[in-house]
Structure 1
Amino acid sequence: MGMGLEYFSFADLWSPVMMVIALLIILLYSLVTGPWRERFAGSGPVEKRRQAAFITGILLLYLAQGGPLSLMGHLMFTFHMTAMAISYFIVPALLIYGVPVWLWRSTFSRPVWRPLRFLMNPLFGLFAFNLLFSVYHMPANHDWIMTHYVFHGFYYLAMLAAAMISWWHVMCPVPEWSRLTNLRKLGFIFLNGLLLTPACVLIIFATTPLFSVYSDPDTWVRAMGYCISGNPADFLSRFQGGPAFFSLMSPTDDQQLGGIIMKLLQEFVNIVALYTVFMQWYRRERAQDDDPTFDHASSGRLNNV
């Protein structure tokens, strides 16, 4: 049995406004990295793999927050957590990698950003997203945010910004802006996964439904107003049982599966990040060992800064 997505319109499933925003961002990126790049100091051609990474990141973010996965995330908690994992564990890494180094330098070297430099402290990057995510998934907070659309949009933007800052410390593309050695990056990734564990454990091992959005028809109808146009109460009144009509499993099973998916996807991404950082560290050490002119004493002092 399907989820009943055929009952929803194209606009409900694909959010034309979000689609236009995503396409405009891709168009702007293509212009800045293409015909407009001469306007930026130190600019150069952008590799195809970086372009593909950025465009993929924007499309994934659109699918998770404006496409069918967004609507499905209002029908089942499992898809909600899948969308969260894509938006905050995968998309930030793709976007950071996809933006060329010269564009990062040109944009964030401007004096206007100086008052906000405290946000780039690694401790802020470590705790900000995990705190926002954990607070959001406290049951009362989650239901309130899901039913207050303007705050919902700003909160999701704040989580995306916090996730970008967190990933920046792991894969900082501008060498002179990196604040962590490779060893500290490994510790950062490990702690990042550890801090998210309590929220996931609470969800996975709960034996009763925690979130009214997925178990109470009235709360669900209010939350669905974020996804569908018109009067959601009139449209959704035809479906007996509210969210249970569309769900493929019981609220408790759906909730537990959602928590498991979130944690597994985070751990998979973290393992990839740990492997990547370790191999970069290993290759650099090998290259230095093979270079007879390299000053290991000076390197040690610099790495401890």
Structure 2
Amino acid sequence: MTWWCAARDVAWTWTWQAYPGVWLFILGIGIGFTLLVRRLAPRHAPAGRPPVSRGQIAWFVVGLLLLWAATDWPIGALGAGYLLTIHTAQWILYTLVVPPLLLLGIPEWLPLAAPAASRTGRALRLLARPVAALLVTDAILLVSHLPPVVDGFRRTQFGSFTVDLAWLIGGLVMWWPVLAPNPSISRVSYPWKIGYLFLCTLVPIVPAAFLTYADYPIYALYELAPRVNDISAISDQQAAGLLMKAVADPIIWLAMAIVFFRWQGVEAAADRAEREARRVR
């Protein structure tokens, strides 16, 4: 039985394939998060309101469903061993789309359940620093796109799982300084959040440029893979490079715009409060 999507030296067909390891992974995240909230809520959640709001539940569920779609057949199978374009689309989903949705589903009290002096508490606060988060995220991006890693890891189920998990962790780390739900965890100001997100767009230029402008296929795995819809390996690679910037960057630009408008909203609210205070005096 095949548990996880990995490269297969067989012609691609649109016949559905079961990957029970993917289902267990998604169920494990959902059930684990639910049990964690239920266990910690009685001691840490604010009294008088639900420990998790409906909006937070909705964000988390949507993120989990998109994670499932990115990992299971057909996207997971195509990306693991047939099309580099789909491989890149998976990276976008794992790093830029799914993590912010999952983080928006975390209640603000949950990170504080870990004592500040504990290993978990220290790690959460360290990774909320933009420099630390950027180093981790960029390291995962660059290493996971090295030819020996792609050609080697994607050929086995465990290796492919490792790449997928690393992308997800890298995405969660990347978005943590921006979306950490409690200000005592992340003290990054709005201007710094915007600058940090801009820096997140720079390092992906490196693999995107290699993919777009290389005269030959970089990855033997995708060069020798059975063709899907007669798409050549070099055309697939060039499309993957364009996708890495043409789709990924606008997602981050959108996040920068949202942060900017929230910043302006906070400033406007502070100005209104100050004017009201002056009137009272």
Structure 1 and Structure 2 fold alike (TM over 0.5): yes
Residues 249 and 151 of structure 1: is their aligned pair in 2 closer, same or farther, counting only changes over 3 Å? Answer: closer
1:273 corresponds to: 255
AA at the equivalent of 1:90: V
Aligned length, in residue pairs: 262
Aligned to 1:199: 207
* Structure 1: gaps of 5 or more residues: 221-242, 296-305
Paired residue for 2:219?
Answer: 211
| Residue 89 in structure 1 maps to residue 96 in structure 2 | yes
Task: Supply the RMSD in Å over aligned alpha carbons.
Answer: 2.5
Within-5 A mapping of 1:224-235: none
Q: Secondary structure at the match of 1:99?
A: coil
Aligned to 2:22: 18
What is the TM-score normalised by the length of structure 1?
Answer: 0.77
Structure 2 contact 134–174 (Cα < 8 Å) conserved: yes
Shift of residue 155 of structure 1?
A: 4.0
**How big is the shift at 1:247?**
4.5
Cα offset, 1:141, TM superposition: 2.9
Alignment of 1:139-288 (within 5 A): 139-216=147-224, 220=225, 243-244=226-227, 246-288=228-270
Q: Distance in 2 between matches of 1:54 and 1:112?
A: 25
Instruction: Tell me which amino acid in the other structure corresponds to 2:235.
Output: D
Deviates more, 1:193-202 or 1:102-111: 102-111
Q: Give the deviation of 1:32 after TM superposition.
A: 5.1
Q: How does 1:51-130 map to 2 (within 5 A)?
A: 51-73=57-79, 74-107=81-114, 109=116, 111-114=118-121, 116=123, 117-130=125-138
Query: How far apart are the structure 2 equivalents of 1:280 and 1:84?
Result: 27
Identity within the alignment, %? 26
More displaced 10-residue stretch of structure 1: 67-76 or 88-97: 67-76
Distance 1:3 1:147 in 2: 15
Question: Using the alignment, how far apart are the partners of 1:111 and 1:134 within structure 2?
Answer: 30
In 2, the alpha carbon distance for the partners of 1:264 and 1:51 equals 30
The amino acid across from 2:25 in the alignment is I
Task: Return 109-118 or 142-151, whichever deviates more.
Answer: 109-118
**Paired residue secondary structure (1:290):** helix
Q: Determine the C-alpha separation between the residues in 1 that align with 2:44 and 2:64.
A: 25
Q: 1:122-146, CA deviations, whole angstroms, 9 ceiling, x for partnerless residues? A: 2121122122212221223321222
Q: As a proportion of its length, which structure holds more helix?
A: 1
